[in-house]
Chain A
């Protein structure tokens, strides 16, 4: 059974860079034709896809966030990571990592989510 777990600071100051890591267990991040995504959800609001990475390193980003987002993968640690620069209070949200079951496939496994608050 694949499991995903987000980790990282719960508090980030405005204008700084938010950094999160997702650790995948129960399977190799490199096996299969899976994509690995980040999705966020502000309190009381809907879901927003941030971007994804394939184990080859190829990425796709939400156009609205593309200028501030970097997603990377470390296959040796079975992890992938998110960096979001120049954060503001609007970036405060629960951040989820998720597995996409293939090209244009749904998110079939999700992490439990981690709350990141942007505040001074």
Chain B
């Protein structure tokens, strides 16, 4: 059971816009910024979005993030086949000794 809640799956057709939600609580998303990671099959996760809505260099602007209260979202516009991957949200949690919590991951399928 992950501390952050994500839908296990999402799907879309090429060109579509899809969103992936991430729900937390006041001790994690409500207090700290959210980061998103993309994990292509058989590879290590890669930083996709940081500080709620910032893109690292090299990440296409098709990817965007937002946060409101204790929830966050990742949006992918102009969906492409290479976007098929697992997506994880993460945040620091201050409820006990501070530690990082992840969502359970969302498998995105491009139909």
Binding between chains A and B: yes
A15 interfacial contact with B, CB 8 Å: no
A47 interfacial contact with B, CB 8 Å: yes
Is the pair B97, A108 in contact by a Cβ cutoff of 8 Å? no
> Interface residues of B, CB < 8 Å — how many?
26
Residues of B within 8 A of A (CB): 2, 32-33, 35, 37, 43-47, 50-51, 56, 88, 90, 92, 96-105
Contact of A96 with B44 at beta-carbon distance under 8 Å, contacts A46-B104, A49-B102 already known: yes
**Residue of B33, B44, B97, B102 most packed against chain A (CB within 10 A):** B44
Is the pair B101, A49 in contact by a Cβ cutoff of 8 Å? yes
Is the pair A111, B99 in contact by a Cβ cutoff of 8 Å? no
Interface residue range, chain A: 20 to 34
Give bound CA distance, A49 to B88, whole Å: 12
Contact of A49 with B99 at beta-carbon distance under 8 Å, contacts A104-B32, A105-B50, A108-B56 already known: yes
**Segment of A25-33, A60-68, A81-89 in the binding face:** A60-68
Question: Can you name 11 A-B pairs with beta carbons within 8 Å?
Answer: A49-B100, A61-B97, A63-B96, A96-B45, A104-B32, A106-B35, A107-B37, A107-B47, A107-B90, A108-B47, A112-B44
Q: Mark A48-77, 1 if CB is under 8 A from B, else 0.
A: 110100000000111100100000000000
